[in-house]
C-alpha cells in the first residue's frame, strides 16, 4: 500500500512523467491496435475467434528477424513479413479454417487454439527459445531534460502502423473487395444472393488479417523482443481491445488499443510492472459487466 501511495505521489511530484507514460502507452498501443484490428475483421466478417492471433504476430516478427540475420534491412522486413504472412494466412484458411467455419463456436476455437500451439512450437524448433530482437541502431530523441524519450525506431514503428491502418481503412471503405467484405459481415446470405463469392471474401479477410499481424510482429521485433511463446500475450490483448471497443467499430478498436497501451503503463507505474497486463484483463471484466448490464441487443456491423 505504501509503495502504491509512493508511486502515485511520484506522478504528482514529476508531472512531466505523465506525458511520458501516455506517449509510451500510445506508441505501444498502436501496435496492439494493429493485431486487434485484424482480429476484429476476422471476428466480424467470418465469426471466427482466432486464438492464434498473437502467434501470427510472433511469426511475422520471426520472419523479419530472420531476414535481418541474413542481411536484409530491418525496415524492409515489415512489407516482406506482410506478404509472406498473407500467403501463410491463405494457406491456413484453405487447410484449416474453411473446414471449420460453418461449425459451432467450440470447433473454431479448438482449431485456432491448436494452430496457436503448432505455430509456437514450430517457431521454437526453427529458431530456438531464446528471446530475439532487431536493433535498428537509430538514436533516441530526448525532450524536457531527457524525461521524455522517443526512440526513432519506435517512432518509425508507430508511423508504419499508422500508415497500414489508414491503408486498410481506406481499402475497406472504397475498394470493391472492401465493400464485399463489409456486405458479407452484415448478412452472409444476402451477400451471396447478390452475387458475392463469400468463400473468396473469407479467404481474403483471413489472409489480410494474417498479413496485418505479420507486419505488426515485424514492427514489434524492432522495438521490443519476441520469443516463440509470447503469442498468447498478444492474443489476450487483441481480444480485450476488440471486446472493449465492440465488434462493429473499427476506428473504436484503434482508439481502444491506444487507450489500453496508456492504461497499462499507468498500471505498471502505480501497481508495479507485474500488474501491467492485469490492468488490461481487469478492463475487459469491467467492460463485459457493463455490457451485460445494459442488456441491449444492438445489431452490429462493420463500418
Partner 1 sequence: MKINLSLMGALVGATLLFPGSASAACEAITLGSAISLTGKYATNGIHAKNGYEFAIQKIKDAGGVQVDGKCYNFNVIYYDDESKGDRGATLAERLINQDKVQYMLGPYSSGLTKAIAPITEKYQIPMVEAEGASRSLFNKGYKYLFAVLSTSEQYLASAIALAAEKATESGKDPSSVRVAVAVENDPFSLDIRAGVLEDAAKFGMKAVVDEKLPRDLSDMSAILTKVKLLKPDVLIVSGHSKGAATAVRQIAEQNISVPMLAITHCEAADVTGKFGAAANDVLCSTQWAETLSYEDPLFGTAANYYSEFIAANSAYQGKKVPYQTAQASAAVYVFKDAFERAGSLDKEAVRDAIAATDLKTFYGNIKFSEAGNNIAKPMVLRQIQDGKYNVVAPSAFASHKLNWPRD
List interacting residues with partner 1 (CB under 8 A).
3, 7, 10, 13-14, 17, 20-21, 24, 28, 121, 124-125, 128-131, 133, 135, 137, 140, 142, 146-147, 149, 151, 224-227, 229-230, 232-233, 265, 268-269, 272-274, 276-277
Which residues does residue 226 pair with via DSSP β-bridges, in sequence order?
132
CB closer to partner 1, 209 vs 227: 227
In whole angstroms, how close is the CB of 230 to partner 1 at the nearest point? Answer: 6
In whole angstroms, how close is the CB of 54 to partner 1 at the nearest point? Answer: 10
In whole angstroms, how close is the CB of 149 to partner 1 at the nearest point? Answer: 5
Rounded Cα–Cα distance for residues 221 and 128 (Å): 16
CB closer to partner 1, 21 vs 185: 21
List, as one string, the DSSP characters of 91-136: HHIIIIIHHHTTS-HHHHHHHHHHHHHHHHHHHHHHH-SS-B----
Question: How far, in Å, are 32, 55, 56, 130 from residue 117 at the CA level?
Answer: 21, 8, 11, 17
In whole angstroms, how close is the CB of 225 to partner 1 at the nearest point? Answer: 5
CB closer to partner 1, 251 vs 272: 272
In whole angstroms, how close is the CB of 61 to partner 1 at the nearest point? Answer: 11
CB closer to partner 1, 13 vs 293: 13
CB closer to partner 1, 140 vs 179: 140
Residue 151 grid coordinates: 526512440
Rounded Cα–Cα distance for residues 165 and 157 (Å): 12
In the block, cell 523479419 appears at 64
Rounded Cα–Cα distance for residues 69 and 66 (Å): 5
Which residues does residue 142 pair with via DSSP β-bridges, in sequence order?
149
In whole angstroms, how close is the CB of 151 to partner 1 at the nearest point? Answer: 5
Question: How far, in Å, are 39, 46, 66, 119 from residue 87 at the CA level?
Answer: 17, 18, 17, 15
CB closer to partner 1, 186 vs 277: 277
Residue 162 grid coordinates: 499508422
Nearest Cα residue to 44 out of 160, 141, 191, 181: 181
Amino acid at each position: 500500500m505504501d509503495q502504491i501511495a509512493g508511486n502515485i505521489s511520484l506522478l504528482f511530484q514529476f508531472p512531466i512523467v505523465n506525458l511520458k507514460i501516455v506517449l509510451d502507452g500510445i506508441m505501444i498501443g498502436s501496435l496492439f491496435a494493429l493485431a486487434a484490428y485484424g482480429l476484429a475483421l476476422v471476428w466480424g466478417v467470418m465469426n471466427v475467434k482466432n486464438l492464434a492471433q498473437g502467434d501470427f504476430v510472433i511469426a511475422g516478427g520471426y520472419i523479419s528477424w530472420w531476414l535481418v540475420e541474413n542481411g536484409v534491412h530491418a525496415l524492409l522486413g515489415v512489407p516482406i513479413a506482410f506478404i509472406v504472412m498473407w500467403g501463410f494466412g491463405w494457406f491456413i484458411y484453405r487447410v484449416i479454417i474453411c473446414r471449420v467455419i460453418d461449425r459451432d463456436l467450440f470447433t473454431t476455437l479448438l482449431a485456432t487454439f491448436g494452430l496457436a500451439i503448432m505455430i509456437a512450437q514450430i517457431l521454437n524448433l526453427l529458431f530456438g527459445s531464446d528471446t530475439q530482437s532487431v536493433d535498428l541502431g537509430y538514436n533516441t530523441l530526448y525532450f524536457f531534460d531527457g524525461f521524455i524519450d522517443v526512440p526513432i525506431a519506435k517512432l518509425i514503428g508507430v508511423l508504419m502502423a499508422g500508415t497500414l491502418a489508414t491503408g486498410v481503412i481506406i481499402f475497406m471503405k472504397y475498394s470493391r473487395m472492401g465493400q464485399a467484405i463489409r456486405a458479407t459481415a452484415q448478412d452472409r446470405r444476402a451477400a451471396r444472393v447478390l452475387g458475392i463469392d463469400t468463400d473468396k471474401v473469407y479467404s481474403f479477410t483471413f489472409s489480410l488479417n494474417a498479413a496485418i499481424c505479420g507486419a505488426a510482429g515485424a514492427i514489434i521485433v524492432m522495438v521490443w523482443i519476441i520469443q516463440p511463446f509470447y503469442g498468447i500475450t498478444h492474443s489476450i490483448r487483441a481480444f480485450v481491445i476488440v471486446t472493449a471497443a465492440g465488434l462493429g467499430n473499427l476506428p473504436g478498436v484503434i482508439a481502444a488499443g491506444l487507450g489500453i497501451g496508456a492504461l497499462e503503463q499507468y498500471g505498471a507505474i502505480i501497481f508495479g510492472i507485474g500488474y501491467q497486463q492485469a490492468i488490461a484483463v481487469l478492463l475487459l471484466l469491467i467492460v463485459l459487466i457493463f455490457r451485460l448490464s445494459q442488456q441491449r441487443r444492438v445489431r452490429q456491423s462493420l463500418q
